[in-house]
Structure 1
Amino acid sequence: MPEITPAPCAPEDVRRVACIGAGVIGGGWVAHFLARGYDVTAWDPAADAEDRLRRLVAAAWPALEQIGLADGAAPDRLTIAPTLAEAVADADFVQESAPEKLELKRSLLAELAAATRPGVVIASSTSGYPMTDMQEGAENAVRLVVGHPFNPPYLIPLVEVVGGERTDPEAVAWSSRFYEVAGKSVITMDRELPGFIANRLQEALWREALHMVANGEATVEDIDASITEGPGLRWAFMGPCLTFALAGGEGGMAHMLDHFGPSLKSPWTRLEAPELDRALRDAMIDGCREAAGDRTYADLVAARDQGVIDVLRATGRLGRTRR
C-alpha cells in the first residue's frame, strides 16, 4: 500500500472543517465543530439545505453553551458552499454524512478524494458500511476512513474510527487524534466490523424491542421505560460487561458466568429481525406518537439534549473526553 501523502497540518492545527451532507447527522457535526471553535464549510445538494442547517445549529446552540464553547466559537463561522469542490477547497479535514446508500457513498467519496487537497483525511459518518466497500473506485483512497458518530454528534462524545483495506494506518491514527483534539471520545478499531461496535449492541436491543411489539408482549412506552428506569441508569456510567461483573458479587465475572451462564440457553432473545410488516410499522409509529403526546419534535430534541447534559454533569463527564 502506498503511504499517505503527509497531511497539510497536524491534528492540533486544523482550522477549517468541511461537512458534506447537512442532514441530522451532518448538521450535528457542523454544530459540534462550530462549538469547538473551527471554521466550517458545509455543502448539501438539497434546495432547502442552508435554511435547515442554520435552524439546526440555532436549536443546538443553547445546549452547546451549557457544556462550554471554545474560544471564538460562533455560528457565524459557518459558510455554505455552492459546490462540493468549493466546500473542500481549503479544508483541513472532511466529514462526509450523506444518506446511507452504498452506491451514493462510493461515488461521493470518490468525488471527494479527487477534489480535496492531497493528504487531507476524509471521514465517513456511515452507520454500518465497511470502508473497504465504500472505497471502491476512489483514487487516493489511502486517506478515506470511517468516523462513526452517535446522534446528536454535538453532545454524544463517542466516535468510532476504522479504516478499510486501502486505508493507510497513518490516516486512521491522524483521524483519531483529530477527533480527540476536537473533543470526542474515540474508539480506534483495529479491524472492520459491520455496524462497528456500538451499533451492533444497539441493534440487538432494537430487534428484541421490535419482536416484543410485534408479538404484543410490550408497548413502546413499556420498552422505553424499561431502559430509562432500569439498566440505562447504570449504562450511563458503567458498561454492560462491568455491570454484569458486579452481579457476581465479590466473585466478579467468573462467579456471574458460573451462576447465570446456563440462562444463556434460555429463549430470552430473538436476534433475527422480525418482519417489518404494516402492522408492526403502524404499532411503532402509533406507540411513539402516544409517547410523545403533545410535545413537538423541537420539544423532544430539547428534552433529549438537556437529559444528556444532565447525565454527563451528574457522572462527572461534562467536558471530559476518553483517551
Structure 2
Amino acid sequence: MSDHSTVSTVDTVACVGAGVIGGGWVAHFLARGFRVRAWDPAPDAAAKLTRLVDAAWPALTELGLADGASKDNLTVTPTLAEAVEGAGFVQESAPEDLALKQKLLTDIDAVTPAGVVIASSTSGYGMSEMQISATTPERLAVGHPFNPPYLIPLVEVVGGTLTAPWAVEWAADFYRHVGKTVITMDREVPGFIANRLQEALWREALHMVANGEATVEQIDTAITDGPGLRWPAQGPCLTFHLAGGEGGMAHMLDHFGPSLKSPWTRLDAPELTPELRDAMVEGCLDEADGRSIADLVAERDRAIIAVQRAVRESRDG
C-alpha cells in the first residue's frame, strides 16, 4: 500500500545514469531540495553532469527553487552501491539497450536497501521485459519522463507483470510530491502514451520531407504557430471537441468522420535513406541558423517557462 508519509520523508535520491535524461532528473531533484547521489560508468560523467546542471540552473531558479535547494547537494559516486546508499528512491536512466537495462536493474536491485522503489526512465521498453532477473522485481516500475525532465512536468508511470501495485502507487505519489504531473497507466503499452502520439507526428513529418512535400522549417512552423499553440491548454481530443462548435465532439465526428478514411497520413515509417537523413540534418542546421545546441536549449527552456506561466495565469484567472 502506498504510504504518503514515507514519500514526504525522502531526502536523498539516487540517479543511475547521468546523460541528458539522467542529468535532467538530477537537476530537477536538486531544485526540489533533495540530496542527489549519482553514478554513471562513463569516465567523463561527472564533468558532463556538472555542465548540464549548471545549464539548467538558471531556468530552475527562475521557476523557483525549493527551500534548501543547492547544486552542492550533488555527489557523484565512484560505484553503484555508493550511489544508492541511503537513498529513498532510485531513478535509472541508462541508454535504451534491453540487455543493458536488464542487467543494470538487476544490479541496482541487488544493492538498494529493501523496500526502496526503483524506477526506470525507459522510453520504449516495458518493465515486464526489463525486470526478469531482479531478485525483488515487485518494487520495479517505469517512470517515463520527457526531455528536459527538469522542465516538462509529465511522467508516465506503469508497472510490469511482476511489479506490486504498491510500488506503482508509491512511485506516482513520489513524482507528484516532487512537482510532476503523473499519468498512472492501467497497463503496459509499447511506447507508452505520449511517445505513440509523438511518433505518429514524427513519421508523417519524415514522409513529407522524403517526398519533397514540406521542408523541416515548414513542418516545425506548422506546429509552433498552428495546433501547437492550442495544445498547452487543451490536448488534441478537447481541441477537436471545440471544433464541433456547440455540438462538440459528437458533431465533429458526425461531420468530419468520413474524412478519417481519406489517405492523408502514412503511419508506416518511411525508409531512412541517406538522402532523407541528410535532408533532416541539413534542414535542422538551416533552421538553427548558426545557433548552437546550448543556444537552442536556453531558448527552449525560456519558451517552456513562458508558456507554463501563461497557461497557469489563464487557468487561475
TM-score by length of 1: 0.95
Match of residue 161, structure 2, among 152, 162, 165: 165
How far apart, CA to CA, are the structure 2 residues paired with 1:196 and 1:177? 19
Q: Write the letter of the residue equivalent to 1:285.
A: V
Question: Is 2:4–2:173's contact at 8 Å kept on the other side of the alignment?
Answer: no
Q: In the alignment, does 2:56 pair up with 1:60?
A: yes
Number of equivalenced pairs: 315
Separation in structure 1 between the aligned mates of residue 94 and residue 307 of structure 2, nearest angstrom: 30
Which of 18, 24, 27 is the matching residue for 2:14? 18
Gaps of 5+ in 1: none
- How far does residue 294 in structure 1 lie from its aligned partner after superposition? 1.0
Q: Over residues 45-75 of structure 1, what are the superposed CA-to-partner deviations in whole Å (9 max), with x where a residue is unaligned? A: 0010000000000000000011110000000
In the alignment, which residue of structure 2 is the partner of 1:144? 140
Q: Determine the structure 1 residue equivalent to 2:298.
A: 302
**Cα pair 2:15 2:91 within 8 Å, conserved:** yes
In the TM superposition, what is the alpha-carbon distance from 1:12 to its structure 2 partner?
A: 1.0
Q: State how far apart, in whole Å, the 1-side matches of 2:264 and 2:8 are.
A: 48
Residue identity over aligned pairs, in percent, reads 69
Does 2:215 match 1:233? no
Contact between 1:7 and 1:118, CA under 8 Å: does it hold in 2? Answer: no
Aligned pairs for 1:195-274 (under 5 A) are 195-274=191-270
What is the alpha-carbon distance in structure 2 between the residues aligned to residue 268 and residue 8 of structure 1?
48
Partner of 1:75: 71
Alpha-carbon distance in structure 2 between the residues aligned to 1:185 and 1:10 = 19
| Aligned equivalents of 1:247, 1:24: Cα separation in 2 | 38
Amino acid at match of 1:131: M
The aligned residue for residue 280 of structure 2 is 284
5 Å-filtered alignment, 1:14-163, equals 14-163=10-159
Q: Distance in 1 between matches of 2:243 and 2:273?
A: 38
Please identify runs of 4+ aligned residues in structure 1 that moved more than 4 A: 6-9
**Contact 1:132-1:164 at 8 Å conserved across structures:** yes
5+ residue gaps, structure 2, are none
Secondary structure at 1:262 match in 2: helix
TM-score w.r.t. the length of structure 2 is: 0.97
Matched residue SS, 1:316: helix
Distance 1:227 1:45, change over 3 A: same
CA-CA distance at 1:7 after TM superposition: 8.0
Cα 1:161–1:117 shift into 2, 3 Å: same
How far apart, CA to CA, are the structure 1 residues paired with 2:228 and 2:123? Answer: 22
| Distance (Å, rounded) in 2 between the aligned partners of 1:12 and 1:317 | 28
The 2-side partners of 1:38 and 1:140 are apart by: 26
Report the CA distance between 1:9 and its aligned residue: 6.9
How far off its partner does 1:190 sit? 1.1
